[in-house]
Structure 1
Amino acid sequence: MHNLSHAHAPILGRDAELAWLDQVVREGNSVITQAVHGLGGVGKSTLALHYARAHRQDHTLTWWITADSPERITAGLAALAERLQARPTSHVSTANQATWALTWLQTHPGWLLVLDNVEDPAHLEPHLGQLDAGHVLITSRRATGWRHLAHPVRIDVLAPGPAADLLGRASGHTSPDHRPALTELAADLGYLPLALEQAGAYITRHHVSITTYRERLAHHPARIHATPARAGQHEATVARVWHLTLDSIAAQDPLAVRLLSVLAWLAPDQLPRDVLTVLGQDVLAVDEALALLADYSMITLTPDTVSVHRLVQTTTRTIDPHDPHRTQDAVTTARHHATALLNAALPDGDPEVDLGAWPRWKALLPHIHAHAALTEPRHDPPGTDRLFSMTALFLARQGQTDLAVAYGERAVHTAARLHGTLHPDTLASRNNLAMAHQAAGDPNSAIPLHESVLADSVRTLGPDHPYTLNSRNNLARAYHAANDVDRAISLHESILADSARVLGPDHPLTLTTRNNLARAYQAADDVDRAIPLHESVLADSARVLGPDHPLTLTTRDYLASAYQAAGHLDRAIEVFESVIADCERVLGPRDPQTLASRGGLASAYQAAGDLDRAIPLHESILADLERVLGPDHPDTLHSRNNLGIAYWKAGDAARAIPLHESVLADFEHLLGPDHPNTLATRDYLASAHRAAGDLDRAIPLYESVLADCERVLGPDRSLTLITRGNLASAYEAAGDLDRAVPLLETTVRTAERVLGPEHPSTTVFREILQRALTGDG
């Protein structure tokens, strides 16, 4: 005997759950009670129905009761009594009939009782306590409260494959050609069976394509989720099921519904729980509200995080004037509250250098991304500008520069709309956007922005305000990045004097300015001033900030680079190797600073002639930079150039030439034909052709590069000097001593004056000149 409804089609993707239920039932000797719980629409009732129908022959009686209230439980038991007695029982009360049914179940083993959609476990206590034989299968949205009543088992959404199968069957789109679209739509719907059934039915009934349905879903989610899979079944829709659930939750704790509305504006997975209390909310009240939401399977709760099904989020944040939980005011308030919570949850301090805050930033970042994607800039409330501006700084430090610029631009537009262009918050957002452009290797965008921020800071805050001093430092760095070294040095020197006077010699901004000035000296080929300054900054930074502070690590990297520029390769390699070990320990192996130090070490190995260690290191760095910063970032292009140099120095010009050609095209597009990076790449390409034995292509290229270097940089800059020496060496290799010897003599004299007589490059040029003069070719 049974009262089961018809199962419309074989169940998909639930083999493991069905097998587990079968095993539990077969192994039990006394009454076995299982409570299958999960999110509304996840398929609990479908699973129970298919199990019951598949094992109908294993039970003397299979009886299904819709158990969402005490009254309906009693009515279901009364219906069982009437069926068992096979005679009219209209003169007997429903309560007495239910009691008769329970008595029968006590005395007749071998039955299966399915209690579907139980609202409250307490409703079952009067009945289950009387049963000591047979099997009881319960479905419920409630995850807790079962205690001694039943063993709760969570059922989750379908796996991607079975979800796409179910959607294909429901929509009639089962051909392999439809599989990619089915997979995408199943993901959109969060693999929720009820939503998949609704989608398939809509596609079939309305004769639309999967692509069209996704468009409808994106623009009209409330109406789509309210459309039943079969005509007349409006109770069985995602919208209706969750509306009823929220009604139940709201009746017990309105805060729980408000929290769910806030969660709808964040990422679905692993929000740190403390974010929900950073504005001083009652921690115990929030704990209780979250527990209630977890009880109804609307969220997944761990000791540290909260997760929400993405379809719950979509439905919750969709305005529906007929749903009191989703009115315009309720949805807007929740969105603004999510912004405020994220803003308050941000770590204090500078996201570029506060390493202890990075794990917090990384935990919040998915939720910031989701919030930005779900909200429109024109609706950004106060606080959004700070949230996105600080995020831009963190992303730039992590090497995600395209995202950093996008966040920076949105922050500037929002701050200007909310506060005006001269407000300190707007100035901060404009500065951070300029820094993001600079990190992206785009000084042409950074410099005008830095200049305007500095002018406005002087006018509104004064010349000695710390913010103004920092703006001057950032502008000087941008000048350096754009190869305007003379202006960078002059500005850094003036900032250093003012920063030491206003903030003191040990202030981080003063230390940073000294470091930047030393770096600028090195760029101007003045290593005699760069090295002592780097060494003093390193000592002070380690004393004031600690040996593991990012500024200390960066200074060690700069010092190693200065040692290499001065020809002290052994010292450079030693410092690079030690700073890399510390960077990997403190920052991680893929951090941009770690990668920069590894690149410096590879170049030092290369300069020392150790190509066996240089080439594999260059190759691994390039792969990491392409993954972390992207293939077009300036640091990636430099790395590709360095690998090309190592290849042609190792005699593999065939691999070097395409690398240099691609980098040259990228630098010309990104920086222009006269930028030092572009000029250097042309010199590298000429050297690769020479290494390939193609002097007819190498010499004209050297000649054109030398002319441009002398015009743009001047005759005494290191790049000009090296290009002149390379051209002279090419003349000598071609047997054109009449042009080689005078050019080499000029090169040696200039190298001795600019680089010093003992510099490795000076020694090489001197040896080539001697060879040309003696004819020892």
Structure 2
Amino acid sequence: MANIFQDASQVSVVNSSLTAVARDQVVRNQVNNIYPLPLQKDPPRMVLRPRSSALFTGQQVYLDMLKNYFSIQNRKGIAPQRTFVIYGLGGMGKTEIALKFAEEIFGQYTYIFWVDATNKDTIFASLKGISSIPDAKKANVDATPGAVLYWIASLSKEWLLIFDNADGEPSMIEKYVPSNNTGDILITSRNPNMRSLTGNKNSIELDGMNMEDAVALLLKRSNLEEGITKPTQEAAERIVSVLFCLPLAVDQAGAFITSGLCNIYEFLELYSEKRKELMDHPSFRGASKYEQTVYGTWELSYKKIESKAKDQANLRDAQTAILIHQIMAFFHHENIMEDIFIRATEKYIMKNSCI
């Protein structure tokens, strides 16, 4: 009864599939690979998919750094292609900064191309998606990586190509960089070696938010932005300090609070208890502060749901929530379709209405 996915075999999953190997092997919806920008005199418009999060907070120093590096003023005549690398641990906000930057500088480029660089398959799928845009079709571009890269390199208008989640070796990305002086490259990666493509001067490591931005994110995620009292502000500061201002951990803490599982004043006590239990597990001995913090906030949410499953009144909902968490762990972490839940729910309702 708790299995909301039961008999939902006809659920349509676009560009996502269960895998026993790793969720990151699934490509994102490739309709979202190109941000076509208007010709001059057209009203400004930019179709952004994936979009930056509505919860995006702060990080202005990084956005300003990117804007300065890629500014029109810094391109004099026929300048060499510019490349910039954002690197750091997962959950630091690399993708979100790249997305926000793409939104804020849309008028500077005729095209902004987005490539999921998780692996060779996702790169190929992204380039294939680019081949389907109107301008590429008009140029009779084949849906092959080589043809798409050649077409991009031949463009006379300025373009920006963003390689997101390029966590492999630099050589993997280097072979997909079009040779053209009218284009620029932005790379997000967990691999610090990716700096070899541009040098230390033209790269930045993300290692957490500043205190002010982290507090703002926590309060926004917790729906406590308005009417902030001094005790609330101080509680938020204590929480983000314990979480080392790591964006993903702060976001998870805010989600936990806004779910009603605890209030902002109770969070640290619960977090400390569960984190100690987690760190006592043999598999977490020697874990970094990043691993301890991120997994600690995640484990807190999961254990709270499990505890609700022991309560008969909440049994079905809690078991269903746990099941959904377990299933979603096998999906690529971006662009999980609402249709999965809608059609599964419709199937579930239809089945039970016939009983």
Match of residue 162, structure 1, among 200, 210, 213? 213
Letter in 1 for 2:270: R
2:24 maps to what in 1? Answer: none
Residues 1:181 and 2:226 are matched in the alignment:
no
Shift in Å at residue 127 of structure 1?
A: 1.3
CA contact (8 A) 1:112 1:137 kept: yes
Match of residue 146, structure 2, among 83, 94, 99? 99
Match of residue 65, structure 2, among 20, 34, 38? 20
Shift in Å at residue 158 of structure 1?
A: 0.7
CA contact (8 A) 1:3 1:62 kept: no
Distance 2:295 2:55 in 1: 31
SS at match of 2:186: strand
Residues 1:312 and 2:291 are matched in the alignment:
yes
Cα–Cα, structure 1 residues 31 and 203, in superposed 2: closer, same or farther, change >3 Å? same
CA contact (8 A) 2:115 2:163 kept: yes
TM-score (structure 1 length as normaliser)? 0.28
Distance 2:62 2:104 in 1: 13
SS at match of 1:118: coil
1:268 maps to what in 2? Answer: none
Shift in Å at residue 6 of structure 1?
A: 2.5
2:173 maps to what in 1? Answer: 124
Residues 1:193 and 2:247 are matched in the alignment:
yes
1:41 maps to what in 2? Answer: 91
Shift in Å at residue 71 of structure 1?
A: 1.4
Distance 1:51 1:223 in 2: 40
Cα–Cα, structure 1 residues 314 and 52, in superposed 2: closer, same or farther, change >3 Å? closer
Match of residue 30, structure 1, among 80, 92, 95? 80
CA contact (8 A) 1:166 1:196 kept: yes
2:159 maps to what in 1? Answer: 111
Shift in Å at residue 8 of structure 1?
A: 3.0
Cα–Cα, structure 1 residues 10 and 53, in superposed 2: closer, same or farther, change >3 Å? farther
What fraction of aligned residue pairs are identical, expressed as a percent?
25
SS at match of 1:34: strand
CA contact (8 A) 2:150 2:178 kept: no
Letter in 2 for 1:143: P
Q: Which runs of 5+ in 1 are unaligned?
A: 225-257, 265-307, 321-777
SS at match of 1:5: coil
Cα–Cα, structure 1 residues 10 and 32, in superposed 2: closer, same or farther, change >3 Å? farther
Shift in Å at residue 101 of structure 1?
A: 1.8
Shift in Å at residue 9 of structure 1?
A: 2.6
Shift in Å at residue 219 of structure 1?
A: 2.6
SS at match of 2:89: coil
Shift in Å at residue 169 of structure 1?
A: 0.8
Q: Which runs of 5+ in 2 are unaligned?
A: 1-35, 37-46, 300-355
Shift in Å at residue 135 of structure 1?
A: 1.3
Residues 1:172 and 2:172 are matched in the alignment:
no
Cα–Cα, structure 1 residues 142 and 199, in superposed 2: closer, same or farther, change >3 Å? same
Cα–Cα, structure 1 residues 172 and 112, in superposed 2: closer, same or farther, change >3 Å? same
Give CA-to-partner distance per residue, 1:727-763, whole Å, 9 cap, x none: xxxxxxxxxxxxxxxxxxxxxxxxxxxxxxxxxxxxx
Distance 2:56 2:158 in 1: 25
Give CA-to-partner distance per residue, 1:141-193, whole Å, 9 cap, x none: 11114424564321221111111111011101231331000001111211011
**Which structure carries more relative contact order (alpha carbon 8 Å, separation 6+)?**
2
CA contact (8 A) 2:91 2:247 kept: yes
| Count of residues paired in the alignment | 239
2:49 maps to what in 1? Answer: 4
Residues 1:153 and 2:200 are matched in the alignment:
no
Residues 1:210 and 2:244 are matched in the alignment:
no
Distance 1:314 1:182 in 2: 16
Shift in Å at residue 102 of structure 1?
A: 1.0
CA contact (8 A) 1:116 1:140 kept: yes
Distance 1:15 1:104 in 2: 34
Cα–Cα, structure 1 residues 148 and 41, in superposed 2: closer, same or farther, change >3 Å? closer
SS at match of 2:118: coil
Match of residue 120, structure 2, among 46, 70, 73? 70
Cα–Cα, structure 1 residues 10 and 31, in superposed 2: closer, same or farther, change >3 Å? farther
Cα RMSD, aligned residues only: 3.3
CA contact (8 A) 1:105 1:133 kept: no
SS at match of 1:128: coil
1:455 maps to what in 2? Answer: none
TM-score (structure 2 length as normaliser)? 0.60
SS at match of 2:266: helix
Give CA-to-partner distance per residue, 1:513-545, whole Å, 9 cap, x none: xxxxxxxxxxxxxxxxxxxxxxxxxxxxxxxxx
Distance 2:116 2:83 in 1: 16
Distance 1:132 1:171 in 2: 45
SS at match of 2:237: helix
2:192 maps to what in 1? Answer: 143
Letter in 1 for 2:106: R
CA contact (8 A) 2:88 2:205 kept: yes
Cα–Cα, structure 1 residues 58 and 202, in superposed 2: closer, same or farther, change >3 Å? same
SS at match of 1:64: strand
Cα–Cα, structure 1 residues 223 and 17, in superposed 2: closer, same or farther, change >3 Å? farther
Shift in Å at residue 223 of structure 1?
A: 11
Shift in Å at residue 112 of structure 1?
A: 1.3
SS at match of 2:259: helix
Distance 1:130 1:30 in 2: 10
1:567-716 to 2 correspondences below 5 Å: none
Distance 1:222 1:205 in 2: 23
Shift in Å at residue 214 of structure 1?
A: 2.1
Shift in Å at residue 53 of structure 1?
A: 0.6
Give CA-to-partner distance per residue, 1:549-595, whole Å, 9 cap, x none: xxxxxxxxxxxxxxxxxxxxxxxxxxxxxxxxxxxxxxxxxxxxxxx
Distance 1:217 1:23 in 2: 40
Match of residue 79, structure 1, among 129, 132, 135? 129
1:289-328 to 2 correspondences below 5 Å: 310-314=289-293
Distance 2:250 2:131 in 1: 37
Shift in Å at residue 123 of structure 1?
A: 1.3
Residues 1:51 and 2:90 are matched in the alignment:
no
Decide which structure has greater strand share.
2
SS at match of 1:220: helix
Give CA-to-partner distance per residue, 1:306-352, whole Å, 9 cap, x none: xx5x232446799x9xxxxxxxxxxxxxxxxxxxxxxxxxxxxxxxx
Distance 1:154 1:181 in 2: 28
Give CA-to-partner distance per residue, 1:74-125, whole Å, 9 cap, x none: 2111111111456599x9975x2x2222112112241111111112122112
Q: Could you say which structure has the larger radius of gyration?
A: 1
